[in-house]
Chain A
């Protein structure tokens, strides 16, 4: 009996904590439906009428279709590039057991210690000189910053894939490249999912790097949100509607793939 009561209490405590954790989203959404005057009257209650006017205005001012497209394009291409090249590198490094190979892996791991802010000024200057402050340049930078962790994860996953598979493929007449694309890469699928999830979360939400690289008409969602917010200080009804719109794609993706996302994040952090 006592332990049942205890379980109920823990359960109730959990629900309260969950509601507390969700409350910022509640506050954002209910106030996004209110008029400026209603927000002034009170921020805790529900709106008088569920009008979508704020959302329509914010959607247009955010140029949302365009910024969503920019975000999707940058994220998808960058993540595909990272997956292709990091898996190749992870494969090569794991199949070459020399000191040189171990040294290269260490170089990538050590590069994870370098904070972005330490290289951003010369990076922008160098890429500016090469006329590469554009979307292609940004994707290339994401490869440079994102490959370290991805190679590390692929290299770890390769230890579970027996070398005898390579040998069998060679006997069957496959070259290195064919062995990799037809045999090894399909076997790396679980870790590719992890690598994709970690990089999507990071690149989708990144603000500082694109803010230094992209012009306003190529702006991704976080960048556009920043300009938008600057325009609407003290106009919380519109600002909150804009924030809600910006969050929707992420929340939808999260609800469809939460199991994989949580597993992927766990794997990326613990290894």
Chain B
């Protein structure tokens, strides 16, 4: 199929139109309107960088960024530890391996909105009952403070996504040649040494994949945030995605919301590109 062949373009037209109208045109259109006083329908004047200057003094927005960064940092570490742990466990040739894999992955099948509602019940009602029975004061009043809201979101996300990360690690663990492990055993390497010198280096590419996925997923979280805490108390657990939705669709500040959305895009793209670059380099060094 040549560049000028009709069939080449006919095969590509539907997806090019789709991507163009749904992603590229809105991105350009939105970026342009973030420099105006656009109200969602019309823009009467150019305001230059006004929105961008304002958003760097906007406490709610800055708080949401900081909260999202903290959340992502903690979540990425925990998810990778739990995911790798699960993967190591279910590749032990246990009788229950397949069953466990099914169970660990199950929450991933269900949407974040529904899972958030279930955990709202657990954090509020179950935690307080268990806390009362065991006399642990720390289990009372979950989701009513910023700290418990934060850890609530972390726990929910880990429960939902650990099975997904596990699957990625399993794919890499199964690629490790059995002879290599046997040879190391014969040479007298203990299980820790085998993990450090064989498993870990061969699974390193999985870190690239799962770090990328967990980082971009945790940065863009909205549903879980909405159904678990709805940003409360006092918007202190509001993440960037929710901040943008609220600015645009609750406060009706479309141009300002879009300026936040542009900054969000630059952040997500910058993180993703840096990460891909860094991980590729590290893999080569190993």
Contact = CB atoms under 8 A, between A and B. Distances in A.
Interface of A: 7, 10-11, 13-15, 17-18, 21-22, 24-25, 27-28, 31, 39, 42-44, 85-86, 88-89, 91-93, 95-96, 98, 100-101, 104, 107-108, 111, 113-123, 125-126, 129, 140-141, 143-145, 147-148, 151, 175-177, 180, 201, 204-208, 212, 222, 225-226, 229, 236, 239-240, 243, 246-247, 250-251, 253-254, 258, 261-262, 265-266, 269-270
Interface stretch (B101-109, B143-151, B194-202): B101-109
A152 to B, nearest CB: 11
Contacts of A262: 101-102, 105, 167
Nearest to B29: A122
A145 B23 contact: yes
Contacts of A122: 25-27, 29-30, 33, 258
A11 B93 CA distance: 10
B222 A14 contact: no
Contacts of B130: 44
A261 B168 contact: no
Contacts of B14: 85, 88-89, 143
B98 to A, nearest CB: 9
Count class of interface residues, chain B: 35 or more
22 contacts: A10-B92, A18-B100, A21-B106, A24-B107, A27-B122, A42-B129, A43-B125, A85-B18, A88-B11, A88-B12, A111-B24, A113-B268, A115-B264, A121-B40, A123-B26, A147-B15, A205-B110, A236-B121, A250-B110, A258-B105, A261-B109, A265-B167
B209 interface: yes
Chain B residues touching A, majority SS: helix
Interface string B229-251: 00000000000110011001100
Contact of A89 (B12, B29, B105): B12
Contacts of A25: 106
Contacts of A44: 126, 129-130
